[in-house]
Structure 1
Amino acid sequence: MSAPAAQAAKQSRDAGATFVPVMARTCVHHEPTAPVAHDCVKLIFVRSGSGIVFSEFGQRSVALGDVVILGASTLCGHEPHEHLTVTTIYLDPDYMIDQVFWQHSAVLSDRFHAQQFAETVYSEPAQVASLGKERAGMLMPWLDEMVSLTLDGPAPERFYRMQALLCAVLDVLIPYIKTTPARMSASQRARIIPAAPRLRQFLPLRAEAAQARTLLHESPEQLWTLAALAAEVHLSPKQLSRVFVEAYGKTPLAYLTMIRVERMAHLLRDSDLNVTAAGRAVGWASRSRAAEAFRQCVGVTPQEYRTSTRVAR
């Protein structure tokens, strides 16, 4: 491994000690670098020099004005001609899915839908975009500031500046990324999947919907049924389901599942309760039902979540 590559790897490991969803590094390469993959999206901006990069697209010559775009876990290596100076932006995949969701919030129903949409639209794991020297020159000050913010270390008060710089860079880059057409339509599936976000409209809430939501938040451990909840707010089950979906984008029981998962995650992080006890504390009598709902919402089992959050601390 070349000295700059080794230094970059060390910096990446050091940065990994405190996770951040966006980071940027500038490196000068004089020696070939063997293909390597990271569990993140990478945007590699060529700043000076030239060389050959090899990835899923085969081999491509790159120079100033070119950007190598890599999906998560995609191998890429390069061979400089004399030298190759690049700034690489590393982006957490979940963070990028959130960006896709909010970008297309008018037609995407939840993060699961956004994940599927992103996999369809951005189906090429590796590509090279040619911005041209003038546009690339416009990006350089933004890239330099992103690198500076990364070197300064995680600072919550600077998060929005880093995000603003990233958005400025993406605003220039996105039109050059090859995409695959996808049918975009709202999905009814979101109504029964317990996935955030819930509030999707800036409309006045029906009092009954707000009252039902309050009941679920105050007593998620109660054995709620749609009929029991409807009786509390003096609506029929069908009416309650309709007004609740209009207000929060989820059926009452999907919303309840989401609340229970959030409370269970809190207990797994901050208490000594085991998975069974944490599930019962939030309203699930069955460990298997609690584990199934948790994995569906969070993406990992309760035990995996507990282990990862304890290690992180």
Structure 2
Amino acid sequence: MRSQLNAVEDMAGNIRTSQSIGCMGPVIARTETIRKSLEPVAYECARLFVVRKGSAVLSSELGKQSVHVGDVVLLSTNTVCGIEPEDGVTITEIYMDTNYVIDQIFWRHVRFLSDRFDAKKFISDICVETPQIIHLDLDEKHAEMLTSWLDELGFLTKNDEYFSNFNRIQALWFLVADVIMPFKTVTPTQTHISYCQQSALPRHCQLKPLREEAREAAKLLRMHPACRWTLSVLAAKTHMSVSQLVRMFVHSYGKTPSKYLTMVRVEKLATLLRETDTPIKAAMRQVGWHSRGHASQLFKEISGLTPLEYRRLSLQVPGRSQSGH
């Protein structure tokens, strides 16, 4: 593998001069040669990098760790890590949006995860401390394939047609992950959690027609999110007992009416923040939230941003004007 990875020196980009990724997208890849030490920094995304030429010393909360050609370094979100090259090191670094990773973990373990909240907790439960260094032991054929995928991924994620190449970018990431992730270390309890404590199969695996009563309940929540809904009120509106309502709703939508309502409120608040100039607190009341702190917490859990951050981001879209807070 070393001879194959060494061949990419001429294909590497310029020496890194800033630590900004400089592109939007759920998966970004950059190949670069580093000749000067990079101070420890953290990103609000998951990262991994493959050492393709040379060697370096990583600086992190775990201390100093050496990496060499063929090594893969996994970095979880907000992991502080610096790089000290030894006479230069060429790496391909892949940045992955946190929500994109959570979504993949959710579908990978959908047999026992009910939603993305469970997926986030599951990730924290199974992950060991990072940086985690993986020593790949690939034959020449698989090393060549990995090198080719990394090069193409880097090219496609830095040109001006990122989203027109989105399907190919995803396919390349899955190919790379399929080679690397089997070597990843997880906590010893993962197997027990995954396969010995499964709950009933979530709705996503059942693919059964929605019950009319559940559809009616969901319709009410969507049409009137600002109402002070309780299970008793919703059950009465749909002519069911509370236990029947919860059982039927979870069976149909894979989540409780309460979690479904939270999702609806987040979606509607996002629309108000994006498409109107309604002050944030007033927008929260319009969707049924009267505590700004509680609303901000729930909104961030689902969207990854606070309402204020979301509005500021929406203001970057041409044609939007500054809104009140």
One-letter amino acid of the structure 1 residue matched with residue 120 of structure 2:
Q
CA 1:136–1:53: 2 relative to 1, 3 Å: farther
- The 2-side partners of 1:140 and 1:296 are apart by 36
CA–CA separation in structure 1 for the residues paired with 2:226 and 2:313: 25
Normalised to the residue count of structure 2, the TM-score between the two structures is 0.79
Superposed, which structure 2 residues align to 1:83-162 within 5 Å? 83-132=88-137, 134=139, 135-153=142-160, 155-162=162-169
Residue 22 (structure 2) aligns with: 14
SS in 1 for 2:218: helix
The equivalent of 1:201 in structure 2 is: 206
2:82 corresponds to 1:77: yes
Q: CA shift at 1:243, angstroms?
A: 0.8
Would the aligned equivalents of 1:109 and 1:186 in 2 still touch at CA under 8 Å?
no
CA gap of 1:142–1:289, structure 2 versus 1, over 3 A, is closer
Encode CA deviations 1:139-172: one digit per residue, 9 max, x unaligned.
0000000011122135322112111111111111
Distance 1:288 1:54, change over 3 A: closer
In structure 2, the residue matched to 1:174 is 181
Deviation at 1:186, TM superposition (A): 5.0
Distance (Å, rounded) in 1 between the aligned partners of 2:112 and 2:40? 37
The aligned residue for residue 5 of structure 1 is 16
> Residues of 1 paired with 2:50 and 2:244: CA distance?
54
Question: C-alpha separation between the residues in 2 aligned to 1:297 and 1:224?
Answer: 20
Code of the aligned partner of 2:281: T
Quick one: structure 1 residues 67 and 13, their matched pair in 2 at CA, closer, same or farther if it must change by over 3 Å? closer
CA offset digits 1:257-284 (Å, max 9, x no partner): 3212211121011101112332333244
Larger CA deviation: 222-231 vs 90-99: 222-231
Corresponding residue to 2:33 among 28, 48, 51: 28
Whole-Å separation in 2 of the counterparts to 1:265 and 1:85: 41
Q: C-alpha distance in 1, partners of 2:168/2:95?
A: 16
Residue correspondences, number: 297
Q: Distance in 1 between matches of 2:295 and 2:16?
A: 45
Rate the CA distance shift 1:200–1:64 in 2: closer, same or farther, 3 A: same
One-letter amino acid of the structure 1 residue matched with residue 162 of structure 2: A
1:91-146 deviation digits (Å, cap 9, x = unpaired): 12222122111111111122222111111211211121111353433300000000
CA distance in 2, matches of 1:150, 1:74: 23
RMSD: 2.9
Secondary structure at the counterpart of residue 250 of structure 1: coil
TM-aligned CA deviation for residue 291 of structure 1: 4.8
Q: How does 1:163-242 map to 2 (within 5 A)?
A: 163-182=170-189, 183-184=193-194, 185-186=197-198, 201-242=206-247
C-alpha distance in 1 between matches for 2:277 and 2:203: 30
| Matched residue SS, 2:132 | strand
Measured at CA, do residues 301 and 149 of structure 1 come closer, stay the same or move farther in structure 2, by a change above 3 Å?
closer
Distance 1:287 1:178 in 2: 40
Letter in 1 for 2:15: P
Distance, in Å, in 2 between the alignment partners of 1:205 and 1:278 is 31
> How many angstroms apart in 2 are the aligned matches of 1:172 and 1:130?
12
List structure 1 runs of 4+ shifted beyond 6 angstroms: none
- Identity level (%): 44
Quote the residue 2:52 is aligned against. 47
Give 3-state SS (helix, strand or coil) of 2:100's partner.
helix
Q: Which segments of 5 or more consecutive residues in structure 2 lack a partner in the other structure?
A: 1-13, 319-325
Question: Counterpart of 1:161 in structure 2: which amino acid?
Answer: R
Q: Determine if contact 2:203/2:250 at 8 Å carries over to the other structure.
A: no
Matched residues in 2 for 1:284 and 1:252: separation? 16
Unaligned runs of 5+ in 1: 189-196
Q: Structure 2 vs 1, CA of residues 37 and 213 (structure 1 numbering), >3 Å: closer, same or farther?
A: closer
1:174 Cα deviation (Å)?
0.8
Which residue is 1:266 aligned to? 271
Whether 1:244 aligns to 2:270 is no
Alpha-carbon distance in structure 2 between the residues aligned to 1:200 and 1:230: 26
CA contact (8 A) 2:49 2:72 kept: yes
Q: Give the whole-Å Cα distance in 2 for the aligned partners of 1:261 and 1:198.
A: 21
Task: Give the match for residue 9 of structure 2.
Answer: none
Per the TM alignment, residue 89 of structure 1 is displaced from its structure 2 partner at its CA by 0.8
Q: Note closer, same or farther for the CA distance 1:203–1:148 as it changes in structure 2 (3 Å cut).
A: same
